[in-house]
């Protein structure tokens, strides 16, 4: 490490690393971490993403679906966006539960999860939000899709079979 003043235009190593990471910064996604208070919400599913984390000691795939609360009578949360589900291949219980609700029946293959989630963008669903304290003292907000209220078009097994891979090369930051 340099013991001289560090900063842009002062330290050539700083400048070199800054230039190397500038493209990553420019393309980085701003992730909304807001979560609604505990309760049940009607939500429009807005976006789907998937990716991989490829660290040598921590490899997994992930899926994320984002939504917007539809609550005209509650302006403090109406049209607020949040992550409805963030799922990984290391902890698939909630992925299996939510995709079963979206599909109308449990999935038989993990490879069907991406097309089901992607196909649900535009649907209106009911989502339960609850906060829990883990044994280690950390507090977690959990969500579950409890019901499909309205679909834009049905997802069929043939559509799943014909769907292209939905994996976007991204690095998970969790």
Report yes or no on 172 lying in a domain: no
Kindly state whether residues 157 and 84 are assigned to the same domain. yes
Residue 44 is predicted with a pLDDT of 95
| pLDDT by 10-residue block (mean), the chain, 174 residues | 58 79 72 89 95 86 95 93 94 94 93 94 96 92 96 59 47 40
Measured in whole angstroms, the distance separating CA 98 from the mean position of its chain's CA atoms is 13
Specify the DSSP class assigned to residue 31: P
Report yes or no on 169 lying in a domain: no
Kindly state whether residues 64 and 114 are assigned to the same domain. yes
125: nearest Cα among 65, 74, 52: 65
Residue 34: CB atoms within 10 A of its CB come to 9
Q: What is the DSSP string of 63-108?
A: EEEEEEE--TT-TTTTT-EEEEEEEETTB-HHHHHHHHHHHSS--S
Distances (CA, A) of 170 to 56, 72, 104, 129, 162: 16, 35, 30, 27, 23
Q: State how far the Cα of 87 lies from the Cα of 69, in Å rounded to an integer.
A: 20
Residue 124 belongs to domain spanning: 39-162
Report yes or no on 168 lying in a domain: no
Residue 5 is predicted with a pLDDT of 54
| 173: three-class secondary structure by DSSP | coil
Q: State how far the Cα of 119 lies from the Cα of 163, in Å rounded to an integer.
A: 10
Kindly state whether residues 83 and 4 are assigned to the same domain. no
What pTM does this model have? 0.72
């Amino acid at each position: 490490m340099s013991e001289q003043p560090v900063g842009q235009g002062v330290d050539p190593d700083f400048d070199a690393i800054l230039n190397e990471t500038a493209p990553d910064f420019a393309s980085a996604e701003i992730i909304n971490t807001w979560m609604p208070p505990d309760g049940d919400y009607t939500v429009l599913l807005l976006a789907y993403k998937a990716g991989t984390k490829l660290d040598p000691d921590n490899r997994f795939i992930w899926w994320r679906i984002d939504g917007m609360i539809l609550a005209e009578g509650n302006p403090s949360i109406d049209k607020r966006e949040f992550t409805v589900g963030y799922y990984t291949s290391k902890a698939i219980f909630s992925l299996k539960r939510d995709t079963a609700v979206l599909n109308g029946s449990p999935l038989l293959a993990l490879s069907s999860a991406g097309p089901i989630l992607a196909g649900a963008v535009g649907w209106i669903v009911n989502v339960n939000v609850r906060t829990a304290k883990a044994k280690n003292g950390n507090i977690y907000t959990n969500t579950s899709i409890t019901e499909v209220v309205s679909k834009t078009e049905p997802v069929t097994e043939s559509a799943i079979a014909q769907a292209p891979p939905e994996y976007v090369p991204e690095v998970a930051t969790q």
